[in-house]
Structure 1
Amino acid sequence: MEYEQMADSLTYGEEYNFYYQNEEYWLSENQEGHYLTKVSDGETQEFKTSEELLEKAKINGKSIIDIWKDIQSQF
């Protein structure tokens, strides 16, 4: 899947889990917002929109687009 396809699918409520640097993460949503959650400790970053999540969510200081080449095959 291309990044743009994934980003678009998030706006329609699609949810994903993926692994990065031996940690599992979830991209999820509910009526109140969109979330990036680190599964091992439950650390969650919350955003109003999927676009904001993709712009501002950070994993080890990097955004999803920054690590996309490392996680793309999981989508």
Structure 2
Amino acid sequence: MEYNELVERFEMGEEFQLYYKGVSYWISQNEEGYYLTREEDGFTQSFESADQLFELGKIDNITILEAWPNIEV
């Protein structure tokens, strides 16, 4: 999957499990917001929009786009 496809599908309501360096993350959403959650400890970052999640959300202190070459979906 390409990064742009992930963003588009997420904006349409799909949720995804991502793996970065063997660590599982979820990008999810509900009526209250958009979330990037590290599965192992439940650490969650909350955002008001999908755009904010992809612009400001951090995995290992870098954005999802920066981490993308090392992410498995």
* Shorter-chain TM-score range: over 0.9
d(CA) in 1 for partners of 2:53, 2:25? 13
Instruction: Calculate the TM-score normalised by the size of structure 2.
Output: 0.93
d(CA) in 1 for partners of 2:12, 2:56? 19
Deviation of the 1:22 alpha carbon:
2.0
Deviations 1:3-54 (A, max 9, x none): 1111111111110001112211000000111100000110000001111100
Structure with the bigger percentage of helix: 1
The corresponding residue for 1:50 is 50
The corresponding residue for 1:34 is 34
Give the alignment's Cα RMSD to 1 decimal.
Answer: 0.9
d(CA) in 2 for partners of 1:53, 1:35? 7
Letter in 2 for 1:7: V
Letter in 2 for 1:37: T
Which stretches in structure 2 are left out of the alignment for 5+ residues?
Answer: none
Percent of aligned pairs sharing the same letter:
40
Deviation of the 1:2 alpha carbon:
1.2
